[in-house]
Structure 1
Amino acid sequence: LELNGQVDRFGLASAIGRIDLFDPANFTDIKVMFSNVNMPRLTPYSSTFAGRKIDAGKLSLNLEYKIRHRQLEGDNQIIIDNIKLGERVESPQAKDLPLDLAIAILEDPDGRIDLGLPISGNLDDPQFSYGGIIWKAIVSIFEKIATAPFKALGALFGGGGEQIGSIHFDPGAAGLSPPEQEKIVRIAGILGKRPGLALTVHGVYSDADRDALQDLQLRRQVAVKAGEHLGAHENPGPLSTGSPKIQDALESLYSDRMGSAELAALKAGFRKANPGQLKESVSARMISGLSGLFRKKRALNERDLAQLKGADFYIVLFRRLRDKEPIAEDALQSLGKARGENAYASLQAAGIPPDRLVLAQPEKVDSDGQGVPAKLELGAVPEPA
């Protein structure tokens, strides 16, 4: 078999292969080529299976079909150039899919989509049609893209799509770590090759941020109490609980906030749970004894004593103070806003134009093993009005 023909005014078609003329459904081995076919003529298929008309575009197909005993197996190479979707069409068979996003992911800078598409089907199926089976396969690809757009995008550019679907921040920090900055450069590089894609950035905050801010805020207060001079927002670094100045500062803060009686009870309980530790000077014992005459003593229960056994007393003080450290909700929202702005600015600096970036309002999320994740969302760049 060898056929050549024309499709519409500018399209070509050809077919070559072998076929059982008396029973094509029993044996067919054929290669079919369509070139430069005007896509609006395929609107009946796109309307039925995708729920959209096609306003413009060119289609080229290289099809290899084998039929054995009414079972079709085919490999299709589909090239679509400059497709433009039209209005939506109601169809009971159509799935509600973000077709514009799928096209933006698949379409290269020249407006070309190149797909390898294996298909199969049984000719006895009452729903079987050659055009329909191809469109169903295309819709299946679009469905996978809609479910995991970053995975689909990553598959086109070396894998790891799931990793570029979010940017992670260290708890309490608004800045981007070097690995996340590298991720942003990769994201910008990929979007540079997909000009139809837009990106939405979310500012985020979590309970892990509250813990980190409480920790930082208290470390600053302890350091200042111990006599250190800190600049605004300066991180004092780790505290040494073996330093007498840090110990005195922690005891002073604990006494101021929890009361001297609570401090005395905690010390007494610690000594009971850890005999021979936390020695007290003679003068301190005298002051403690005199003050004890004028206050009701409180003893720790067995559960508290068990938690103190083997612990570092000053770490216990720090943790109890930290858990009570007040952090305003608007401080967390401000952190989320700063993160979104930093990510937005970094993406723009990496080469993504501002008209393809959207900064969403900050939202609360759950932290994960990598930090606090700020999700990214892909969308199609809107057509000009």
Structure 2
Amino acid sequence: GDSAVELKFKDMPLPLVTPYMAEFAGYKIEKGQMSLDLKYTITDNKLEAENKLFIDQFTLGEKVENPKAVSLPLELAITLMKDGDGKINLELPISGSLDDPQFSVSSLVFKALGNVIGKIASAPFKMLASLVNFGSDEDLSLVGFSEGNSELNDHEKTKLDAIAKALASKPALSLEVKGAAFKDLDWPAMRYEALKDQLKKIKAKELRAKGERTRSEYIELSDEEYKELLAQQFIEKFPLLADFSIFGTPRLKEGESGDFYEVARQKLEALLPPEEQRLNDLAVLRAGNIAKYLQELGVASNRVFLLSTELDPERSDPEVSVRLSIR
């Protein structure tokens, strides 16, 4: 048969429920008031319940050593769940069997609460997105960049706009930014600059031989100088593919097709192994640009932490992206 029950628990002081919490997440509860509105339907000894859970001023106390505790960033979840006045309002669907010898309403409530907290803690950016009604279901924790580039495009800025808004509503939170670069994606887009730098070094050497001392990074190559140095290098390194004609003009040998300078650039670029320093500088710039943009939006600089950068971090996303985390 069916029976419906309605129960209201008002202002239960939270330390009473500490044993569950310590079991659940390894913390004691310092203070807080909890009210529960439970609407039950019991069908064939199965309990289905819609719960409104309201917790006021939920504060965690000391950590408890408990090998069974789920390891969750509990403080983070609680901060995300609280509204501006420190109140938490949750709807908890609950179900269980009355035949279960372990059956108790409070343990079911805590199991459900555990699930909610677990969800939030494992996907805090989803929670942030919902706080500011961010329209898209994109992952706010990933900021995308184009290959070899450190500039933020408008699309990624809208994500950071949403994060800045969420941070404004949650003063306890701060953001961590881990700059990243990827050899397979970024390096091919950076090789051209690396090749030009190589040619500038050769130019600097030539100038030194004439008694002019100039550091290679201060050299500006004219289009003509660039082509000349490129041809010289290409023919030196790939004598089977190209040579100079009797008039001294560079040319591709029989059977090679394409624009001479284009082919030369591609072949010489392909010889260059990824430079960690260059990739790392790119990773640092990316993280810096994210931090700078958030500061322009009014996020205090002491709320944005730059973590050490990483080359080729693991990624689920095939695109170039920098990962953010919340603390």
* Structure 1 and Structure 2 fold alike (TM over 0.5): yes
**Structure 1 residues 57 and 162: alpha-carbon distance in aligned structure 2, compared to 1, 3 A threshold:** farther
Correspondent of 1:320 among 261, 267, 285: 267
* Alignment counterpart, residue 178 of structure 2, candidates 202, 207, 231: 202
- Counterpart secondary structure, 1:109: coil
One-letter code of the match for 1:211? P
Quote the sequence identity (%). 34
Structure 1 residue matching 2:84: 3-state secondary structure:
coil
Q: State the Cα deviation string for residues 150-196 of structure 1 (Å, max 9, x = none).
A: 23333444354642112122222222222222221111011222233
Aligned residue runs from structure 1 range 66-215, under 5 A: 66-91=41-66, 93-158=68-133, 160=136, 162-207=138-183, 208-215=185-192
The answer to whether the 8 Å contact 1:247/1:314 transfers is no
C-alpha deviation, 1:353, in angstroms: 2.2
- Aligned with 1:344 (options 291, 302, 306): 291
Cα-to-partner distance string for 1:307-352 (whole Å, 9 max, x where unaligned)? x56x444322111122234764222222222222221122122122
SS at match of 2:29: strand
C-alpha spacing 1:286/1:94, structure 2 compared with 1 (3 Å)? closer
- Paired residue type of 1:140: N
Summarize deviations over 1:239-293 as a string: whole Å, max 9, x none.
xxxxxx969954x334432444835x3148xxxxxxxxxxxxxxx74458xxxxx
Partner of 2:281: 334
Contact 2:199–2:230 (Cα < 8 Å) also in 1 = no
Task: Say if 1:98 and 1:249 are closer, same or farther in 2 by CA, change over 3 A.
Answer: closer
Shift of 1:136: 0.4
Q: CA deviation at 1:206?
A: 1.8
Q: How far apart are residue 72 of structure 1 and its match?
A: 0.3
Most deviating of 58-67 and 347-356: 347-356
Asked if the contact 1:45–1:132 (Cα under 8 Å) also holds between the matched residues in 2, the reply is yes
Assess, with a 3 A threshold, how the Cα gap between structure 1 residues 285 and 255 changes in structure 2: closer, same or farther.
closer
Alpha-carbon offset, residue 67 of structure 1: 0.9
Unaligned runs of 5+ in 2: 204-216
The within-5 A match list for 1:227-242 is none
Give me the whole-angstrom Cα distance separating, in 2, the residues matched to 1:215 and 1:190.
40
Shift in alpha-carbon separation, 1:85–1:353, aligned structure 2, 3 A: same
Could you tell me the TM-score, scaled by structure 1's length? 0.69
Alpha-carbon distance in structure 2 between the residues aligned to 1:260 and 1:61: 81
Contact 2:177 2:287 in 1 (8 A): yes
Instruction: State how 1:1-12 maps to structure 2 within 5 Å.
Output: none
Give TM-score, length-normalised by structure 2: 0.80
Q: Secondary structure at the match of 2:99?
A: coil
Q: 2: CA distance between counterparts of 1:96 and 1:128?
A: 24
Which of 295, 308, 316 is the aligned partner of 1:361? 308
In structure 2, distance between residues paired with 1:322 and 1:36: 70
